[in-house]
């Protein structure tokens, strides 16, 4: 018997498309804030009198708080309801955005950005977790995840373009103020639309010892990765890395001994989820590294102005959206693992073409084939990795599984950014070499994706959608 389409009875809402729209706009907001301050940084540095070494933490502290608290945010969602953590997180994010826009001292902006990251760490798992619960029919879930992936990619690109436009024609403070009306609409509408969806598991205790070990370990790991390039005190980076490993090792021990582990034992019962998360880490590392290297090449190699460099990403956006659409259709027909494998291969091929074009100094036209292939692979790869990783999630685990997906992407981004400075060299102009490193990361993601296919259940993808499989 064929799977029934999503309805109010099986989703808990009579307006699933409206819910999807709000969740995707919220996801767009979070991913925009990963990049929206990049082009505004020189202006912020001038106006608030940041030192050259401290201005980078306007970006890094957001990623640090976001990546460090994600899994705790997901677990809180499973414990107290995804809707409630979405509301609290969005409120924190909006208030922090207001504080960022009103900052008059460096410490005020950095502190507010940390709060933004904390709010984002509560919101992001709730967004993906609610999608998992609202869209239970395979084809509908594939479409929802495809749109989620598209908004994540477009949000990153829109952040760069908006940063240039707003800084050029208004004030850098509006980079943060634009978050307020969007957050207000989400807070007003979403709780009303999803009444009855995931009321929370009041009987689920929260392992605060494990939460402290994991959050501390992830935060120190992200800090160490972000500090690899340009750190004045390498010893501090090494100490942070060692402490991170010790805390994460302590977390593993605690999970094995605890009667109430932070990450439920059933979450990694099969090999598919861990392989899909590993593929996501490597794919995002390749994406972030390729993204930054391409941005630097456009401005420092080809001499583009910031706004022109942002507009040069339009083909990247088109390629990403094409990949999202192709990946959505293929996931329903075949399986998430197969789509992920093909996407990773495409990403690696695109990165290799970009490395060749940059090494040969072929100009923007020479970059276009690599940009389109790289972007198409990313567009198909991110949603399919999330689909594979969240397969089988239920109300007790959807939040923490969603946070694992988001954590893999943040960790991959931190790895990619850490490797950029090393690959570019002292001159900062070894663009071809840096893009070759991104190619290697993408090739490694192909291996992880292939392992997903080997262990993928027969019910994934086409089998789920096949009427004969019911």
Q: What per-residue confidence (pLDDT) applies to 1?
A: 34
pLDDT tens for residues 399-412? Answer: 778 778 877 887 88
Q: What per-residue confidence (pLDDT) applies to 463?
A: 42
Q: What per-residue confidence (pLDDT) applies to 168?
A: 65
Q: What per-residue confidence (pLDDT) applies to 468?
A: 33
Mean pLDDT check: name the lowest of 218-222, 338-342, 372-376: 218-222
Mean pLDDT check: name the lowest of 103-112, 208-217, 442-451: 208-217
Mean pLDDT check: name the lowest of 230-234, 442-446, 448-452: 230-234
Burial state string for 122-143 with b = 16 or more CB within 10 A and e = fewer than 16: bbbbbbbbbbbbbbebbbbbbb
Q: What per-residue confidence (pLDDT) applies to 7?
A: 39
Average pLDDT, the chain: 80
Instruction: Using the predicted structure, report yes or no on whether residue 113 has a pLDDT greater than 90.
Output: yes
Instruction: Using the predicted structure, report yes or no on whether residue 11 has a pLDDT greater than 70.
Output: no
pLDDT tens for residues 56-72? Answer: 778 778 877 887 788 88
Q: What is the mean pLDDT of residues 96-102?
A: 94
pLDDT tens for residues 335-353? Answer: 888 999 999 999 999 999 9
The larger pLDDT score, comparing residue 458 to residue 306, is at 306
Q: How far apart are CA 247 and CA 25, in angstroms?
A: 35
**How confident is residue 204, by pLDDT bands cut at 50, 70 and 90?**
low
Q: How far apart are CA 96 and CA 305, in angstroms?
A: 30
Q: What is the mean pLDDT of residues 180-201?
A: 79
The larger pLDDT score, comparing residue 214 to residue 202, is at 214
Closest-CA residue to 288 (of 470, 196, 412): 412
pLDDT tens for residues 260-295? Answer: 777 766 676 667 888 888 998 999 889 888 887 887
Global pTM value: 0.75
Q: What per-residue confidence (pLDDT) applies to 196?
A: 61
Q: What per-residue confidence (pLDDT) applies to 301?
A: 82
**How confident is residue 123, by pLDDT bands cut at 50, 70 and 90?**
very high
Q: What per-residue confidence (pLDDT) applies to 55?
A: 74
């Amino acid at each position: 018997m064929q799977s029934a389409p999503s309805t109010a009875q099986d989703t808990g809402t009579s307006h699933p498309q409206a819910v999807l729209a709000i969740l995707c706009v919220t996801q767009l907001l979070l991913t925009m804030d990963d990049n929206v301050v990049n082009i505004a940084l020189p202006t912020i540095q001038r106006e608030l009198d940041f030192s050259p070494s401290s201005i980078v933490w306007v970006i890094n502290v957001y990623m640090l708080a976001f990546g460090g608290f994600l899994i705790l945010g997901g677990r809180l969602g499973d414990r107290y309801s995804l809707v409630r953590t979405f509301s609290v997180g969005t409120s924190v994010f909006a208030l922090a955005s207001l504080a960022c826009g009103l900052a008059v001292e460096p410490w005020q902006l950095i502190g507010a950005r940390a709060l933004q990251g904390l709010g984002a760490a509560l919101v992001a798992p709730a967004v993906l977790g609610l999608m998992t619960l609202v869209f239970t029919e395979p084809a509908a879930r594939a479409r929802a995840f495809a749109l989620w992936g598209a908004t994540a990619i477009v949000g990153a690109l829109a952040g760069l373009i908006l940063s240039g436009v707003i800084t050029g024609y208004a004030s850098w403070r509006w980079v943060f103020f634009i978050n307020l009306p969007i957050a207000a609409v989400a807070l007003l509408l979403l709780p009303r639309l999803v009444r009855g969806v995931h009321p929370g598991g009041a009987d689920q205790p929260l392992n605060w010892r494990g939460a402290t070990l994991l959050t501390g370990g992830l935060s120190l790991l992200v800090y160490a990765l972000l500090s690899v390039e340009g750190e004045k005190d390498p010893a501090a980076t090494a100490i942070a890395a060692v402490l991170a490993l010790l805390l994460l090792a302590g977390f593993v021990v605690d999970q094995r001994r605890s009667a109430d582990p932070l990450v439920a034992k059933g979450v990694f019962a099969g090999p598919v989820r861990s392989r899909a998360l590993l593929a996501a880490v490597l794919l995002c590392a390749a994406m972030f590294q390729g993204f930054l290297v391409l941005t630097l090449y456009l401005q420092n190699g080809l001499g583009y102005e910031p706004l022109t460099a942002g507009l040069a990403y339009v083909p990247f956006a088109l390629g990403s959206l094409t990949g999202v659409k192709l990946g959505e259709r293929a996931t329903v027909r075949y399986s998430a693992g197969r789509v992920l494998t093909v996407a990773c291969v495409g990403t690696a091929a695109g990165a290799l073409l970009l490395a060749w074009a940059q090494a040969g100094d072929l100009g923007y036209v020479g970059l276009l084939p690599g940009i389109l292939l790289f972007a198409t692979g990313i567009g198909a790869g991110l949603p399919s990795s999330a689909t594979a990783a969240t397969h089988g999630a239920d109300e007790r685990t959807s939040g923490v599984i969603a946070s694992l997906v988001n954590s893999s992407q943040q960790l991959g981004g931190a790895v990619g950014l850490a490797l950029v400075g090393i690959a570019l060299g002292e001159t900062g102009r070894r663009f071809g070499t840096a893009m070759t490193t991104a190619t290697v990361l993408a090739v490694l993601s192909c291996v992880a994706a292939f392992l997903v296919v080997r262990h993928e259940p027969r019910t994934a993808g086409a089998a789920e959608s096949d009427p004969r499989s019911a």
